[in-house]
């Protein structure tokens, strides 16, 4: 004997309610998932710190056609630089440095005019990697020991035509990068004597964003300067520590 029709309807009502609730939940979830990308874009557009940070010390180059400026001060010099993006993977900077010493030796005063050339190679194990070259011309007057020759204490004139090394950087916190470097060069001292210097320097620094187009950076470079032949061949400790601001980009 079949149950009354009212019994069938009573059993179907909870089933229809559960199906309706399930469909409503699915619709709400789909709406939220669809809204997430739009929400993320809105947050990124309204947050000046949401855009990628251009590295000043590290390996990420400035976009093509963009410009940035930097000033720094420390031991043993102050420096101003202008950076220009050449392509999607390369940029170049012109630098003017005023020094009151050289390496770990403080004394006298002078100026250095140089360039920085940077080529971004890509990413390796989470690190951005770039080649870096810094040719320059240096004049120093009344140096305490520039370079370590018998006639130290006079004027030193040096040219660095060849310079190269690797720079690596990575983001450790939002808008905070760490940068490390290893560089060497060939420096020719013409005054006071003909002396060849081949330094080997390592560096470690941080850079962080203060505002949309303003960065604070600090770095320490240290190593050994090797001298010879000519004069008194030998080695001296190298040291440069500085803090600065970069803006633009």
Question: pLDDT tens digit string along 149-166?
Answer: 655 567 888 999 999 999
pLDDT of residue 73: 97
pTM listed for this prediction: 0.76
> What's the pLDDT at 35?
45
What was the pLDDT predicted at 144? 64
Rounded Cα distance, 110 and 189, in Å: 14
Structure confidence at residue 165 (pLDDT): 97
Query: Domain coordinates of the chain in residue numbers?
Result: 1-46, 67-248
What's residue 45's pLDDT?
Answer: 35
Q: Which residues contact 249 (CB under 8 A, 6 or more apart)?
A: 54, 62, 63, 66, 67, 68, 213
| Per-residue model confidence (pLDDT) at position 102 | 79
Q: Is 2.40.160 the CATH number for 67-248? A: yes
The predicted structure's pLDDT at residue 226: 87
Structure tokens at 82: 């202008």
Residue 249's pLDDT is 65
3-state secondary structure string, 185-226?
Answer: EEEEEEECCCEEEEEEEEEEEEEEEEECCEEEEEEEEEEEEE
pLDDT < 70: residue spans in the chain: 1-54, 144-153, 192, 229-233, 249
What's the confidence (pLDDT) of residue 120?
A: 96
CA distances from 170 to 31, 129, 161, 247 (A): 36, 9, 29, 20
């Amino acid at each position: 004997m079949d149950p009354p029709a009212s019994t069938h309807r009573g059993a179907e009502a909870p089933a229809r309610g559960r199906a309706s609730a399930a469909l409503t939940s699915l619709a709400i979830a789909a709406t939220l998932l669809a809204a997430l990308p739009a929400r993320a874009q809105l947050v990124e557009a309204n947050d000046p710190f949401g855009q990628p940070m251009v590295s000043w010390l590290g390996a990420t180059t400035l976009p093509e056609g963009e410009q940035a400026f930097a000033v720094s001060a420390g031991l043993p010099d102050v420096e101003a630089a202008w950076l220009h993006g050449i392509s999607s993977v390369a940029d170049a900077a012109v630098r003017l440095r005023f020094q009151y010493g050289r390496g770990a030796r403080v004394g006298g005063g002078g100026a250095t005019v140089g360039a920085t050339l940077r080529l971004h190679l890509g990413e390796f194990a989470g690190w951005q990697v770039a080649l870096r070259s810094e040719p320059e011309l240096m004049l120093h007057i009344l140096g305490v020991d520039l370079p370590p020759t018998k006639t130290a204490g006079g004027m030193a004139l040096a040219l660095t035509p060849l310079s190269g090394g690797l720079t690596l950087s990575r983001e450790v916190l939002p808008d905070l990068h760490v940068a490390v470097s290893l560089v060497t060069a060939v420096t020719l001292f013409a005054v006071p004597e003909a002396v060849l210097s081949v330094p080997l320097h390592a560096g470690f620094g941080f850079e962080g964003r203060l505002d949309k187009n303003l960065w604070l950076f600090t770095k320490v470079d240290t190593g050994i300067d090797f001298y010879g032949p000519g004069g008194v061949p030998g080695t001296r400790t190298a040291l440069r520590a500085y803090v600065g601001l970069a803006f633009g980009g």
